[in-house]
Structure 1
């Protein structure tokens, strides 16, 4: 059971989503505008946030920014009626972990919620080590040479995929499917954007690089000596 915060101004959509999630034994609290969402989130921790993009007073993008200032790791699933690549990338770059385009199937919503919660609410603390990097997938943290690094949920998922497939070339299509659960769209640069985010966090200030670009193929995670 998870504590889920649903921010949606369309009453019918809000009621359907709330009913679906409660049938799966989650506790769901709702808000109908962006300003209320910011106030509520500041006063209570949640396990997951479902956030509509088009909201009164503050947009979902603005709310997402506010949430990320307070909490770097809570999973955020965006709901949007906007289907352009730029709109999706804007949401992901703001700090969202996943998105669904309206209208969506409730089964797909539940599947995406389950996937985000599994990653963020694991009872175990699996630790992956490669080279001088140690990843704790339970709290999305990385330690490198005594320095602690905090990752967002998607950054953690990307690093976990790369580390578990070290010394293997992963295509952008494979990364998109494994990390975002979507088919790779050649019109979006979201994979490259997140690789750069990850590079800045785990490599900036260090001599040795781990994430290498393979031109025309994708990325490989390896030591520079490999």
Structure 2
């Protein structure tokens, strides 16, 4: 999001009339809009490019909106999502929010309200980004120094917390033992690096041992990486 409030917005909407109207309205408001007409292409765009917000229909060809949303959240992508749908029952709205949506607007709608809701969810996201790191089911809160996985709180030592923070900030990227040592103790670390294995093993025991999916992975000969498999 730029200083003047302009946002990069992904619209996933199969109705050509509404999709074109949304694109025109967002661009007239100074935002950058990418419009996809089916769920599969929408998911590909959301995974390949960083957006400030996503406007998501539910009844989409090739991949439904809720399945798209769940796939994004499983990948650790926390882009704010506004569901825009003709499905407006309480149960349908609850299902959308429980799947990971940040807001839900029922068609037909007033365009100024959509813009206001987009502004609200992106503003909330911007305010919380500095406080929380989220990778798949793993959440690290910098303000409270709490770590949880699937809502189960995990007790970490200060060194383990710092190490996990580094891994989460660089999720998907292989980090060497030397990089970890320099982060934990000294920017010009020249000591032995095998001490990292001890801390990694302890951290892995706490964040992975009780769960089916292993997030902290060893890359032989290179180092370690935190990623959501698949």
Contact preservation (8 Å) 1:143, 1:149:
no
Which residue in 1 is equivalent to 2:93?
A: 88
Task: Give 1:143 shift.
Answer: 3.5
Shift of the alpha carbon at 1:144?
Answer: 6.9
* Cα distance in 2 for residues equivalent to 1:99 and 1:145: 29
What residue number does 1:98 align with?
103
Unaligned runs of 5+ in 2: 1-5, 133-140, 156-230
CA displacement at 1:70 relative to structure 2: 2.2
Matched residue, 1:112: 117
- Report the TM-score, using the length of structure 2 for normalisation: 0.56
Pairing of 1:19-34 with structure 2 (within 5 A)? 19-34=24-39
* Match in the other structure for 2:130: 139
2:211 aligns with none
Q: Hey, what does 2:55 align to over in structure 1?
A: 50
Task: Count residues in correspondence.
Answer: 142
Residues 1-226 of structure 1 correspond to what in structure 2 (within 5 A)? 1-121=6-126, 137-141=128-132, 142-143=141-142, 146-148=145-147, 200=151, 204=153
Partner of 1:134: none
The higher radius of gyration belongs to: 2
CA change 1:149–1:81 in 2 (3 A) is: same
1:64–1:95 contact (8 Å) kept in structure 2? yes
List per-residue Cα deviations over 1:23-72 (Å, max 9, x = no partner): 22110001000111111222111111110011001110000011112234
- Counterparts of 1:145 and 1:107, CA distance in 2: 36
Contact 2:146 2:154 in 1 (8 A): no
Moved over 3 A (4+): 143-150
Please tell me whether the aligned partners of residues 8 and 52 of structure 1 are also in contact (alpha carbons under 8 angstroms). yes
In structure 1, stretches of 5+ residues that fail to align are 123-136, 151-196, 207-226
- Partner residue in 2 for 1:171: none
Deviation at 1:89, TM superposition (A): 0.6
**What SS class does the counterpart of residue 60 from structure 2 fall into?**
coil
The alignment's C-alpha RMSD in Å is 2.2
Match for residue 210 of structure 2? none
